[in-house]
């Protein structure tokens, strides 16, 4: 393979199709990309290259990549250049992955559509009038458009899976604690996870294998990959569907398509399909936002305009400000334990729901997003925007792993299937996702 040529062709494609008038998936390109590609190419030729050699990788702009602009798509950090590599970035570089640039996103990862970026919305490469989804809008769009092989996004309530679904690519939210968050500018630290997006499961798996594992710089990380029950006991795989997920889908057609695909795979492989109860997931959105607002408010206090960037409260967009003001209010009222602590209780109930369900099933499957992407600029209330994540937030609250894979289309718009599995069973997710890929 001529890697240098591949990089040059990709840069040309980005030049022609991205940018403000185009898809708008990149905010910054790596100025040293050709120099770095030459080094990697030499390593490939000498047979000494790492696992990611030959892959073009792009990073969401809320992760630190030494010397690159990581502005979280916000005016607050407009000119902020990273002074260090996030742990995931260090690992990518060690395996000779080429970082081509930094990606557009919802401002500080607050959003579900990619429209809150201070640098304009990311367009959906499948249909440029539509949103790409968010908050990792550039991460999904750049992969779908063929501007990179693999990207990294972050997922607090659905931000990897939602745009993956809308753009027709694969996106993994790893289990909480399996990938280091060191160097990620957090939205809600008890829920955030960094994860990969790519056109196929193979590349997502490859990247996960590079970035996962314990990190001394993030105390919440583990080194375990649990062996799931069905593998230990060699028993028949059971897939769970849930009426509780079905009720949250505003588009019933979507649920029917997903159900059919599950039945098709189950028939082919001899898997069982059963219904499971997850009776508290209808409270997931209501529990998520108080947690997110309070944690986000606290994490933004460092953007006071003294050490780096500008004062956030004076430079951010309306959605970020809503969360700062809301988070500050909730924290003040917290002496009564009214919001944050109640939200934590619901988080625990949802976690228990999943634990109970996973005693009976190996996977739980639903659509990824309850509705199809809207047109960029449509008037949509914050409540409607928040409900975009009704199907993805439960996995973040429960700390489990979940993947979105493209499974079908409705009127030529991609439809993602979400597969959830117990914490630290990413390998099982990859196995079953590859089986679905084959019947697509």
Which residue in the set 159, 178, 193, 368 belongs to the binding site for ligand GLN (CB under 6 A)? 159
- Among 105-113, 223-231, 236-244, 430-438, the segment contacting ligand GLN (CB under 6 A): 105-113
**152 sits near ligand GLN (criterion: CB under 6 A):** no
Q: How far is the CB of 249 from ligand GLN (least distance, A)?
A: 17
Nearer to ligand GLN, 109 or 249 (CB): 109
Contact 197, 162 (CB under 8 A): no
Q: Residue 85: how many CB atoms within 10 A of its CB?
A: 21
Residue 292 is encoded by which pair of tokens? 């997110």
Catalytic (active site) residue 159: yes
Q: How far apart are CA 6 and CA 134, in angstroms?
A: 28
Which residue in the set 14, 164, 187, 405 belongs to the binding site for ligand GLN (CB under 6 A)? 187
Sorted by sequence, the CB contacts under 8 Å of residue 23 that are 6+ apart come out as 17, 122, 123, 125, 128, 132, 141, 142, 145, 147
**156 sits near ligand GLN (criterion: CB under 6 A):** yes
Q: How far apart are CA 197 and CA 142, in angstroms?
A: 10
**157 sits near ligand GLN (criterion: CB under 6 A):** yes
**111 sits near ligand GLN (criterion: CB under 6 A):** yes
Catalytic (active site) residue 165: no
Q: How far apart are CA 210 and CA 356, in angstroms?
A: 31
Q: How far is the CB of 439 from ligand GLN (least distance, A)?
A: 29
Buried-state track 210-232, b at ≥16 Cβ within 10 A, e below 16: bbbbebeebebbbeebbebbbee
Q: Which residue is nearest to ligand GLN (CB)?
A: 159
Q: How far apart are CA 409 and CA 403, in angstroms?
A: 18
Q: How far is the CB of 411 from ligand GLN (least distance, A)?
A: 24
Q: How far apart are CA 341 and CA 36, in angstroms?
A: 48
Is residue 400 classed as helix, strand or coil in its secondary structure? coil
Q: How far apart are CA 92 and CA 206, in angstroms?
A: 11
Q: How far apart are CA 226 and CA 122, in angstroms?
A: 37
Q: Catalytic one among 74, 117, 135, 165?
A: 135
Q: How far is the CB of 187 from ligand GLN (least distance, A)?
A: 5
- Among 110-118, 229-237, 305-313, 332-340, the segment contacting ligand GLN (CB under 6 A): 110-118
414: Cα within 13 Å, side-chain hemisphere: 30
Nearer to ligand GLN, 108 or 271 (CB): 108
Contacts of ligand GLN in 280-319 (CB under 6 A): 292
- Among 15-23, 109-117, 272-280, 418-426, the segment contacting ligand GLN (CB under 6 A): 109-117
- Among 108-116, 252-260, 368-376, 425-433, the segment contacting ligand GLN (CB under 6 A): 108-116
Which residue in the set 50, 101, 125, 158 belongs to the binding site for ligand GLN (CB under 6 A)? 158
**390 sits near ligand GLN (criterion: CB under 6 A):** no
Which residue in the set 112, 124, 132, 300 belongs to the binding site for ligand GLN (CB under 6 A)? 112
Residue 266 is encoded by which pair of tokens? 């189950």
Q: Which residue has the tokens 């539509």?
A: 130
# residues contacting ligand GLN (CB under 6 A): 14
Q: How far is the CB of 153 from ligand GLN (least distance, A)?
A: 8
Q: Catalytic one among 137, 154, 159, 178?
A: 159
Which residue in the set 33, 44, 57, 109 belongs to the binding site for ligand GLN (CB under 6 A)? 109
Q: How far is the CB of 10 from ligand GLN (least distance, A)?
A: 27
Q: Which residue has the tokens 């030459």?
A: 38
Contacts of ligand GLN in 14-73 (CB under 6 A): none
- Among 107-115, 164-172, 309-317, 421-429, the segment contacting ligand GLN (CB under 6 A): 107-115
Contact 321, 303 (CB under 8 A): no
Give the Cα-Cα-Cα angle 402, 404, 405 (nearest 5 degrees).
135
Q: How far apart are CA 8 and CA 4, in angstroms?
A: 6
Q: How far apart are CA 189 and CA 230, in angstroms?
A: 31
Residues in the chain: 440
Nearer to ligand GLN, 33 or 109 (CB): 109
Applying CB under 6 A, the residues found at the interface with ligand GLN are 109-112, 135, 154-159, 187, 292, 389
Question: Which residues carry out catalysis?
Answer: 60, 135, 159
């Amino acid at each position: 393979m001529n890697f240098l040529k591949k990089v040059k062709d990709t840069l040309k494609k980005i030049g022609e199709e991205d940018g403000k008038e185009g898809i708008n998936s990149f905010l910054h390109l790596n100025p040293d990309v050709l120099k770095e590609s030459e080094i990697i190419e030499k390593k490939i030729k000498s047979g000494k290259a790492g696992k990611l050699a030959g892959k073009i990788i792009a990073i969401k702009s809320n992760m630190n990549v030494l010397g690159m602009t990581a502005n979280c798509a916000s005016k607050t950090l407009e000119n902020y250049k990273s002074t260090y590599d996030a742990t995931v970035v260090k690992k990518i570089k060690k395996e000779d992955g080429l970082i081509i640039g930094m990606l557009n996103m919802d401002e500080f990862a607050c959003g579900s559509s990619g429209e809150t970026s201070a640098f304009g919305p990311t367009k959906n490469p499948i249909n440029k009038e539509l949103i790409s989804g968010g908050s990792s809008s550039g991460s999904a769009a750049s992969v779908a458009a063929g501007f990179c092989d693999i990207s990294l996004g972050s997922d607090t309530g659905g931000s990897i899976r939602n745009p993956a679904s809308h753009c027709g690519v694969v996106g993994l939210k790893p289990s909480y604690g399996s990938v280091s968050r060191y160097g990620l500018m957090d939205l809600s630290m008890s829920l955030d996870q960094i994860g990969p997006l790519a056109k196929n499961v193979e590349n997502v798996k490859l990247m996960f294998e590079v970035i996962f594992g314990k990190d001394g710089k993030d105390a919440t990380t583990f080194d375990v990959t649990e062996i799931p029950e069905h593998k230990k006991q060699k028993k028949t795989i059971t897939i769970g569907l849930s009426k509780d997920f079905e009720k949250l889908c505003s588009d019933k057609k979507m649920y029917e398509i997903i159900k059919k695909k599950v039945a098709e795979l189950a028939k082919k492989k001899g898997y069982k399909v059963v219904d499971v109860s997850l009776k508290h997931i209808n409270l997931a959105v209501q529990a998520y936002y108080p947690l997110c607002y309070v944690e986000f408010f606290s994490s933004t206090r460092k953007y006071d305009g003294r050490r780096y960037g500008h004062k956030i409260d004076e430079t951010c967009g309306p959605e970020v400000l809503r969360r700062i003001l809301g988070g500050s209010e909730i924290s003040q009222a917290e002496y009564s334990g009214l919001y944050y602590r109640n939200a934590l209780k619901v988080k625990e109930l949802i976690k228990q729901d999943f634990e109970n369900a996973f005693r009976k099933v190996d996977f739980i499957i639903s659509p990824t997003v309850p509705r199809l992407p809207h047109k960029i600029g449509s008037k949509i209330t914050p409540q409607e925007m928040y409900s975009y994540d009704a199907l993805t937030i439960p996995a973040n609250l429960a700390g489990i792993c979940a993947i979105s894979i493209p499974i079908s289309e409705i009127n030529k718009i991609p439809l993602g299937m979400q597969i959830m599995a117990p914490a630290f069973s990413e390998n099982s997710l990859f196995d079953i996702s590859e089986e679905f890929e084959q019947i697509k």
